[in-house]
Structure 1
């Protein structure tokens, strides 16, 4: 049992050694340990604050980035719509211009056809007129070969003129 119950001297010397070690540690080690712990606590608090600030800045940057992306999408959509509208307008103008040119060409062709038709009709009339004159001349020469026939024909023409 002696091992289980320490003697009074052992307790005294153990307590005295503990107090001396405690005083020495308090004077020389406790201050620096506490100051380093306080410094470490300040560093951790500063790091947490910096991390929180960076986190807020990142959230703000993310929000701004999303806004910029939304604006960029809207601008892209507007530009595509404008490009489609411009394309449609240009195609419509080209079709209208082609239609106008086609109508103009058709009108000019019709005018040329009419002019050529009129020229051909005039040529035919002139040729028919010449042929009629030639035929009439040949018939009259044949019928009016004698002077008696000529005088009878002239009298008939005069009678026709007086009656008209």
Structure 2
């Protein structure tokens, strides 16, 4: 270090100082502003990117919430549709059961009417046969001489026996 102090030249120091100040002046005029502007632009870009990331995060949370709400709405609609389908099924079963019961009642009523009609026809036929039989018996009785009661009783029993055959 002693050698630096011994070799020190005031002229050289002056010119080095002038060059250094000139260099600082030139750098301040031409280099510092673009460097500072690029640093500011980079800082602003980073700030904007952070803000965009925060917005994306909030938007993602909102999107997840809306997706959950949409899924819940879809579940509610599905449950409502299933409920409606069950109600329609029960209504259709009830209507079909009612119609089947109605048809069965009609068939039973028709069968009862047919039975009643045939019963009346059978009774009318039996009455007609009894009347014809009575007329035949009376006719045969009046043709014969009816002087004896035993002969009458015997004749009636005989005619009844023939009628039962």
TM-score (norm 2): 0.71
Partner of 1:119: 121
Equivalent residue pairs, number:
140
Pick from 33, 36, 46 the counterpart of residue 34 of structure 1. 36
State the Cα deviation string for residues 79-134 of structure 1 (Å, max 9, x = none): 11121122112102211221122022112211211111121121121122112201
* Residue segments in structure 2 that go unaligned for 5+ positions in a row: 148-165
Pick from 134, 137, 147 the counterpart of residue 135 of structure 1. 137
Distance 1:92 1:8 in 2: 119
How is 1:91-106 mapped onto 2 (pairs within 5 angstroms)? 91-106=93-108
Q: CA RMSD in A?
A: 2.6
Partner of 2:47: 45
How is 1:70-89 mapped onto 2 (pairs within 5 angstroms)? 70-89=72-91
Shift of 1:50: 2.3
Shift of 1:77: 0.5
Q: Which moved more, 1:15-24 or 1:76-85?
A: 15-24
* Residue segments in structure 1 that go unaligned for 5+ positions in a row: 150-164
Higher relative contact order (CA 8 A, sep 6+): 2
Q: 4+ residue runs of structure 1 moved beyond 4 angstroms?
A: 5-9, 11-20
State the Cα deviation string for residues 24-80 of structure 1 (Å, max 9, x = none): 323211111111110121122122212212321231122122112201211110111
